[in-house]
Each structure stands twice: as structure tokens, then as C-alpha cells.
Amino acid sequence: MSLSLFNLSGKKALITGGTQGIGFSIANGLGEAGASLVVNARNPEKLTQCIQQLQAKGIDATGALFDVTNAEGIKEAIQHIETHIGPIDILVNNAGIIRRAPAEDLPEKDWNEVILTNLTAPFLVSKYVGQHMIKRKSGKIINICSLMSELGRDTVSAYAAAKGGIKMLTRNLATEWAPHNIQINGIHPSSVFHQS
């Protein structure tokens, strides 16, 4: 299929958690459509390997090593990207984790970690990227939600709560930032399995 209808030449995309799984596939797809990539991760070895794989395909890709659960780190990283790499036209909030346990046994630590990574982090990254997009009156944000934002399933209470939250965050930001010409959408994939 021709990518002419999806030509992203001249656009820069930031993908959080982009070294594997859905994130890597999205990064690869955006790169094949012509976008320049900034791939985020917190594991330097995985990030280096990911960038090498993308560049080997002729994709313009740069790594951004920061933890999406660290607000100050996010703020500094986004400012660095905007200043030294270029304006972020597209943000994909993909980074996420899951902790499985029956709700009655789920440790509070695990609950907090999932909510922080899967809900608070997308808000924070969107906030700091959004500040620049608002000034430019342009931008696209894609949040990776889940079927778990609509359905219940055993042992994933924290994950489902976080994904339900990001679904509503997507709707709210889409309404709030529409006057600034920023489009925000959510994707709701089912289970995805990948080899490490």
C-alpha cells in the first residue's frame, strides 16, 4: 500500500516507550511515512539498539533517555528536544506497564506504580509537549489506551483503572486544546504479544 496519503515528511514525532512492542511498531510506521523520530526509553541499551534498527532502515531517528514518571526529567527532556532537535509535531504516549494480581491482593506499591506510569505520565508528557504545541497552534497527540478502558478482566484492576483514566484524559484534552489546533486521539488495542 502506498504511504502517499500518510506522508509525514518534515514532521517530528516523539514516541514514549518506543523500543519494543506497540511503541516500536508505531515508531517504525511513522518513520516509514517520512517522520523524523525521537524515541524515548529509560533503558540505554534497548534505546541504542532500537535507534540502530531504525537507522538501518534509513529512518531518521534519535534517542531520548528519560523516565516518564519523573516530572522534572520530562520537563527538561522536552525542552532539550524542542531546543536542540526540533519542534515536536506528533506525540505518541505509549509507555506503560502492567502488574497482575487479584484486587484483594494487589500491593499498594504496584497500584501506584501502574497509575503513575500509565496515567500520570501521559498527562505530564502531554502537558510539557502541549505547552509548545499551544504556542505554535499546531500538534497531534495519540494516546495508547486499551480495550481495558472499556472492559473488565481479572487481575488487572490498576491497569484498567489507568487506561479508563487515559481514555477520559484524551477526551478532555481534545476538547480543551481544540481551539489551539491540537488534535488528540486514543487507540484501544487488544492484547499484543512480542518477543523480548
d(CA 94, CA 122): 8
Active-site amino acid positions: 159
Secondary structure (3-state) at 37: strand
Secondary structure (3-state) at 132: helix
CA 193 distance to own-chain centroid:
18
Residue 28 half-sphere exposure, CB side, CA atoms within 13 Å? 13
36-41 vs 90-93, strand pairing mode: unpaired
